[in-house]
Amino acid sequence: MLKLIPGVNQLISLAIAEDLYQGDITTASLPQLRRDCLAKIILEEEGIIAGLELVEIVFRQLNVEVRLQFNTRDGCYENPGKDLLEIVGPAFAVLAAERIILNFIGRMSGIATASARLVSRLEGTKCRLLDTRKTTPGWRYLDKYSTHLGGVVNHRFGLDDGVLIKDNHLLLSSGIGEVIRLVRKHTGPLTKIAIEVENESQVKEALRNNADHLLLDNMTADQIRTMVAIVDGKAQTEASGGITPENLKEYASTGVDYLSLGLLTTEVRFLKMKMEIQV
């Protein structure tokens, strides 16, 4: 349902503008390219596919009609050589769109694939992986859509759809109790209150004030274990900071409900794929 999202449509419009603001001077020179061609998007390494739906919007924004045949769906795991998608349309438009399409699907599939690898390390635990707001500007929705396809649980999408009281909020205000009270008064019935806590005394004060979700920040796995015991189910718990692919399993074993991991979206590698043209 990517096509419903206003920001995604705008990002595609930026992607088109940056690549062909004054057109494609190579293909514009070649009259043969007005004919139709058949293009295939071929996967070059294994992974989870993400972003196929965007292809339709790219061509719609280019004002060009093409026929698309999808041979897989977002979220599916595919092997190298897989022909993900076939496009039949005017060659000049297909070539103009080639890099835009590959950059979208390649990047999104790369995020989904890497996310899935990390999620698989938590198998057998009840702990779930969360993403963060450390995303590439303009890409918040697509980054989180991709981690979600990899099995990650999406944390809040923006500052407008979830409350998280952080150290800086506390620093500028007057104590955990007062801040929670103000936020609760200001926000609606569907809003949970999450708060970043750094030590036992903050955990206890947050619980006293009925925080819904505790973000246990920058603690060792042992510290997390202790805090989880203190919380004792009275709030959801999330560990963040200092968590790596290597110690993920250890943190997950502490009984904490969620681990949040910035690198899901701050360390990105495109999945390799290419476009092949057939005459």
Q: Which of residues 216-275 bind a copy of itself (CB under 8 A)?
A: 236, 238, 257-258, 262, 266-270, 275
Check binding of 188 to a copy of itself (CB under 8 A).
Answer: yes
Pick the catalytic residue from 24, 60, 86, 99.
99
Check binding of 102 to a copy of itself (CB under 8 A).
Answer: yes
Residue 217 CA to residue 196 CA, distance in Å, equals 6
Annotated catalytic residue 178: no
Annotated catalytic residue 99: yes
Check binding of 71 to a copy of itself (CB under 8 A).
Answer: no
Given a contact cutoff of 8 angstroms between Cβ atoms, the answer to whether 82 and 43 are in contact is yes
Nearer to a copy of itself, 84 or 256 (CB): 256
Annotated catalytic residue 134: yes
Q: Give the orientation angle of helix 221-231 with respect to helix 200-208, to 10 degrees.
A: 30
Pick the catalytic residue from 166, 208, 269, 274.
166
Rg over CA atoms, the chain: 23
Instruction: Tokens for 81, please give them.
Output: 């050589």
137 CB contacts (<8 Å, ≥6 apart)?
A: none
Annotated catalytic residue 128: no
Q: Is 81 buried (19+), middle (13-18) or exposed (0-12) by CB count in 10 A?
A: exposed
Nearer to a copy of itself, 160 or 232 (CB): 160
Q: How does strand 258-260 pair with strand 273-278?
A: unpaired
Q: Which stretch binds a copy of itself (CB under 8 A): 23-31, 81-89, 199-207, 223-231?
A: 23-31
Q: How does strand 236-240 pair with strand 83-90?
A: unpaired
Q: Which of residues 107-146 bind a copy of itself (CB under 8 A)?
A: 107, 110, 130, 133-141
Check binding of 160 to a copy of itself (CB under 8 A).
Answer: yes
Which residues are designated catalytic?
99, 134, 166, 196, 217
